[in-house]
Amino acid sequence: MNEDERAKLILKILNRIYPKTPIPLKHKNNFTLLVSVLLSAQCTDLNVNNVTKNIYLKYNKPKHFVKLGRKKIEKLIKSIGIFRVKAKSIYFLSKQLIEIHNGKVPKTFEELEKLPGVGHKTASVVMSQGFGYPAFPVDTHIHRLAQRWGLTNGKNVVQTEKDLKRLFPKTSWNKLHLQIIYYGREYCTARSCYGLTCKICTTCYPNKKNPIQTKKA
């Protein structure tokens, strides 16, 4: 089975298991989505949602976070990892949105990636989940599974993104990146499957006996 055949099979299996893909990070608008994605670095979506559910009731626009200031933002998100770094990014990106973008989240990769604390992966999530633009955000789950499933050589997340975009139709990207994340959390976890037990791994590699070693992002 070549990589194109594996890609078609994987898409078929994922569409059957996850016909619907709700956005895991709870948000009120594209600004709060951007903030939540930024907060989710080295943190679970569940933890982010627990912290932000009360914050977004009162603070959900750039002007709110600028008015709060860094120290108060830190207090609001202190249960999240590297909260001081994230608070700094949230404060300065809020300020930049007001000064340059009239308080609106920009709709291009270039402008998003110029915002403090926003890298390509964060920008991809906002473009995909916020604006519906075809994008393929690659997180650690996707990077790991793309290697396990023989869809990339795993050199880095940049290469993984290129390979996945090449193998899957553009119309599937926005849904597929979420399907892979859900599947990686539920069936093909970092510390259980190792390419040997889940439905996709056993279908793609029915004769595999040794665990697959993956390279970290």
Q: Annotated catalytic residue: which of 121, 170, 199, 209?
A: 121
How far apart CA 16 and CA 109 sit, in angstroms, is 31
**Known active-site residue 139:** yes
**Known active-site residue 45:** no
DSSP sequence for 156-213? -HHHHHHHHHHHS-GGGHHHHHHHHHHHHHHTS-TTTTTTSSSHHHHHH-TT--SPPP
DSSP state of 129: I
How far apart CA 102 and CA 100 sit, in angstroms, is 6
Q: Annotated catalytic residue: which of 28, 67, 78, 139?
A: 139
How far apart CA 144 and CA 67 sit, in angstroms, is 40
Catalytic (active-site) positions:
121, 139
